[in-house]
């Protein structure tokens, strides 16, 4: 991809890029909607990424292009306004530019910018965090700035929260920033604090993308965020991570049925994250798989961010040989399912699951066998 992006940039803009950067997508391994609730989460950076090429220009114009999209998005360096319609993909790098001064960092003035990706969009693999982190690295490199990695991660989150308008936690940007091949990333979101956990040999990941609607900005994600904050307030804590199962039981009379469901999911999911870390360290992939599937059932029945398509895939996968467990990955409301499998699970079995889905829903899900990968990096500059 590096040589290809270099050539495409030169063809599109008539000059070579000064900077190349890359940031991976991520699997939300377990910890669904726990991050903005102050909890813990496990994720894995994958071997699919968003790449950014950048070169300065002297006229104060910022020209954004994306491989595979027609036309450029051109804005003036003295204007930072949220875009709508087809150009709205550029809100992610624009949000990064808007966030940089909030961390005491300079934003570059005029530049040409080209993004390319081998990461499926809308599959719950956080292409948004990948483009934010790759953009941040490029903007910082071209201005000669080197803040700590956790600051870069926070810049990406600020861009998505305040400019794009998705009230996500630190999971997506944290895993993209701190990923390491053959490891999971553990995040204590109250710090936030990041560390890696070695994966046992033989862990394989399959992603099944349903292509059903996965529009977090449309309000479903924001609604769950509001419901969790309301539940925490009713329980007298700042975040649901501060509440125990006993506290939840004691607060039953103060919580609506809906608030109680949301709180129970988050509190129990945080406990599942801790149990998963223990099972991973013991090399017990069967136990890890059971925790993943239990996580999905909680998303399905308590948090209600699953869909019939996702539920069907989980049912089909956990019934298949050589599958340890499966769950939705990402914010939910459509998107993708992740399966943790042994090395024996292969394309033939994946096709069988996809065929069953086709018969049920009239469309075939994409299948993606991914491996873990390293986090965001500057490649040239």
**Could you give phi then psi for residue 327, rounded to 5 degrees?**
-160, 160
User: What's the chain's average pLDDT?
Assistant: 93
Range of the domain at 249: 204-370
What are 67-95's pLDDT values in tens digits? 978 889 999 988 899 999 999 999 999 99
Q: What is 106-124 written as a DSSP string?
A: PPP-SEEEEEEE-S-TTSS
Which residue, 198, 216, 244, sits at the end of a domain?
198
State yes or no: pLDDT of 144 exceeds 70: yes
Highest mean pLDDT among 114-123, 168-177, 217-226: 168-177
| 322 domain-assigned | yes
My answer on whether 194 and 208 are in the same domain is no
- pTM score, two decimals? 0.90
Which residue, 166, 198, 230, sits at the end of a domain?
198
pLDDT at 180: 97
My answer on whether 127 and 216 are in the same domain is no
Q: Name the one residue in this structure whose structure tokens are 């997506």.
A: 172
pLDDT at 169: 78
Please check whether residue 349 is in contact with residue 316, taking contact to mean a CB–CB distance below 8 angstroms.
Answer: no
What are 44-64's pLDDT values in tens digits? 999 999 999 999 999 999 999
| 376 domain-assigned | no
Q: SS3 letters for 326-365?
A: EEEECCCCCCEEEEEECCCCCHHHHHHHHHHHHHHHCCCC
Number of domains in the chain: 2
Residue 172 falls in the annotated catalytic set? yes
Alpha helices in 201-346 (DSSP H): 220-235, 245-250, 257-281, 285-298, 308-318
Q: Which of 67, 72, 172, 188 is catalytic?
A: 172
Please check whether residue 116 is in contact with residue 77, taking contact to mean a CB–CB distance below 8 angstroms.
Answer: no
**27 three-state secondary structure:** strand
My answer on whether 191 and 250 are in the same domain is no
My answer on whether 342 and 364 are in the same domain is yes
What are 281-302's pLDDT values in tens digits? 999 999 999 999 999 999 999 9
- The CATH number of the domain holding residue 290 is 3.30.70.890
When pLDDT is averaged across residues 128-150 and rounded to a whole number, the result is 97
What are 232-278's pLDDT values in tens digits? 999 999 999 999 999 999 999 899 999 999 999 999 999 999 999 99
My answer on whether 184 and 224 are in the same domain is no
**35 three-state secondary structure:** coil
When pLDDT is averaged across residues 303-312 and rounded to a whole number, the result is 96
Q: For residue 222, which of 374, 80, 36, 75 has the smallest C-alpha distance?
A: 36
**194 three-state secondary structure:** strand
Q: Name the one residue in this structure whose structure tokens are 């300079």.
A: 106
State yes or no: pLDDT of 148 exceeds 60: yes
pLDDT at 213: 72
My answer on whether 120 and 216 are in the same domain is no
């Amino acid at each position: 991809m590096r040589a290809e992006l270099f050539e495409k940039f030169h063809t599109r803009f008539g000059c070579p890029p000064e900077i190349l950067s890359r940031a991976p997508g991520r699997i939300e391994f377990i910890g669904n909607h726990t991050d903005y609730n102050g909890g813990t989460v496990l994720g894995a950076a994958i071997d699919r990424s968003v790449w950014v090429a950048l070169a300065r220009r002297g006229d104060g114009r910022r020209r954004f292009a994306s491989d595979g999209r027609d036309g450029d998005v051109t804005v003036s360096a003295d204007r930072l306004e949220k875009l709508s319609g087809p150009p709205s993909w550029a809100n992610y790098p624009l949000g990064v530019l808007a966030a940089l001064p909030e961390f005491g960092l300079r934003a570059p003035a005029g530049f040409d910018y080209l993004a390319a990706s081998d990461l499926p969009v809308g599959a719950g693999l956080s292409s948004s965090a990948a483009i934010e982190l790759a953009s941040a690295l490029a903007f910082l490199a071209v201005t000669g700035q080197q803040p700590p990695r956790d600051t870069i991660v926070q810049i990406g989150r600020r861009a998505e929260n305040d400019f794009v308008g998705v009230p996500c936690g630190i999971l997506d940007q944290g895993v993209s920033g701190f990923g390491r091949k053959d490891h999971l990333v553990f995040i204590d979101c109250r710090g936030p604090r990041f560390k890696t956990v070695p994966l046992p040999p033989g862990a394989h990941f399959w992603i099944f993308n349903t292509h059903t609607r996965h529009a977090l900005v449309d309000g479903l994600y924001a609604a769950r965020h509001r419901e969790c904050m309301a539940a925490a307030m009713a329980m007298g804590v700042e975040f649901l991570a501060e509440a125990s199962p006993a506290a939840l039981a004691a607060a039953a009379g103060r919580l609506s049925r809906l608030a109680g469901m949301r709180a129970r999911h988050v509190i129990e999911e945080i406990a599942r994250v801790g149990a998963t870390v223990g099972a991973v360290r013991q090399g017990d992939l069967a136990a890890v798989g059971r925790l993943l599937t239990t996580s999905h059932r909680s998303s399905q029945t308590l948090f209600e961010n699953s869909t019939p398509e996702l539920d069907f895939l989980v049912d089909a996968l956990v019934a298949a040989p050589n599958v340890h467990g499966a769950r939705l990955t990402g914010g939910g409301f459509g998107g993708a399912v992740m399966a943790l499998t042994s090395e024996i699970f292969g394309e033939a079995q994946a096709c069988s699951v996809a065929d069953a889905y086709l018969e049920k829903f009239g469309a075939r899900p994409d299948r993606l066998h991914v491996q873990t990968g390293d986090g965001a990096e500057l490649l040239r500059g």
